[in-house]
Amino acid sequence: MYIDKLASQIKNDVLSGLKGYHHNLGLNIEQLKDECVNTRLLIIKEQYLKGVLPIKDLLVAINCVDVDCESLERCRCKTSTDDTLVAHFQIPQLIHDFGKQAIEYIGSTDRRNPFQVVTSLSELETRKYRKRGKNKPYVWIDFAPNNEGMLDCFIFNAPMIKQVSVVGLFKDPRQVERYHCCKNDDDFTLTGADDNMSYISQLVKERLTSEKIKYYRQLAMPIKPNDQTYNP
């Protein structure tokens, strides 16, 4: 797992950097994983604003996202006989700062039929009254995370679709790693921009390692050598 490995590497590097110090390293690995995700996001934004990192270099593909059916009704306590089920799937949270650029593609798994993407309720409402292209498939992404921390997506005008492919800029690699193209794919690994030795990974590792070593050195006492000298 990408974040797991990165957090483990950082913890080992911090321990190495604290050799020669008395310390009680209260470094929680789960907290460190969250810090890896947050620092990764910060560095991505920094590098993008500097013009160093093109968006296309950060895109990650999820190729086999299952489609089910779900009501648009968000209140689960409400019961209605008029509820219409809509083709639905979930995706990991996107990096909001990039707006619609966070989605490169949503559509058929052969990448030949892209769906138009709608991200606002006002645009979704407007589409109901369009005449031109009204039968073309489109996807509405609800940017409010659901109970599982994922984003709900609803497909219109593509009733028979069973799976979709999604290419985007995802916030948390741990959510991306939930997706396997085959149910028995035990060798699934996250590929693309976030491989373990990538440029971003190295910057995350260097920044967090440096911050942690500096912090714990301020709290720790250097180990004094015992020279067996008697000082009356």
pLDDT tens digit sequence for 157-177? 988 899 999 999 999 999 998
Task: Tell me: do 180 and 95 sit in the same domain.
Answer: yes
Residues 6+ apart with CB under 8 A from 173: 2, 3, 37, 40, 60, 190, 194
Task: Tell me: do 143 and 212 sit in the same domain.
Answer: no
Name beta bridge partners: 29. none
With 50 as the cut, is the pLDDT of residue 219 above it? yes
Residue that has been written with the tokens 């006492």 in this structure: 221
Please report the pLDDT score of residue 79 as a whole number: 59
Task: Tell me: do 181 and 212 sit in the same domain.
Answer: no
Task: Tell me: do 100 and 205 sit in the same domain.
Answer: no
pTM reported for the whole predicted model: 0.80
| pLDDT grade for 197, boundaries at 50, 70 and 90 | very low
Task: Tell me: do 99 and 167 sit in the same domain.
Answer: yes
- In a domain, residue 159? The reply is yes
**Percent residues over pLDDT 90 in the chain:** 49
Q: Mean of the per-residue pLDDT values for the chain?
A: 83
Task: Tell me: do 18 and 120 sit in the same domain.
Answer: no
| pLDDT grade for 218, boundaries at 50, 70 and 90 | confident
Residue, of 29 and 130, whose pLDDT is higher: 29
Task: Tell me: do 184 and 196 sit in the same domain.
Answer: no
Number of separate helices (H) and strands (E) present in the chain: 5, 10
Helix 29-49 crosses helix 2-17 at what angle (to 10 degrees)? 100
Task: Tell me: do 99 and 139 sit in the same domain.
Answer: yes
Please report the pLDDT score of residue 193 as a whole number: 46
Please report the pLDDT score of residue 194 as a whole number: 46
- In a domain, residue 226? The reply is no
Helix 2-17 crosses helix 199-219 at what angle (to 10 degrees)? 40
**Percent residues over pLDDT 70 in the chain:** 80
The 163-168 sheet, strands edge to edge: 60-66, 163-168, 103-107
- In a domain, residue 204? The reply is yes
Please report the pLDDT score of residue 95 as a whole number: 94
Task: Tell me: do 3 and 106 sit in the same domain.
Answer: no
With 70 as the cut, is the pLDDT of residue 192 above it? no
- Mean of pLDDT values over 61-73: 91
Task: Tell me: do 66 and 156 sit in the same domain.
Answer: yes
Query: Residue 29 and residue 4: Cα distance in Å, rounded?
Result: 9
For the segment 101-160, what is each residue's pLDDT rounded down to a tens digit? 899 999 999 999 999 999 888 888 887 777 665 788 999 999 999 999 999 999 999 888
Domain that holds residue 157: 62-74+83-189
Residue, of 206 and 80, whose pLDDT is higher: 206
Task: Tell me: do 132 and 44 sit in the same domain.
Answer: no
Task: Tell me: do 178 and 196 sit in the same domain.
Answer: no
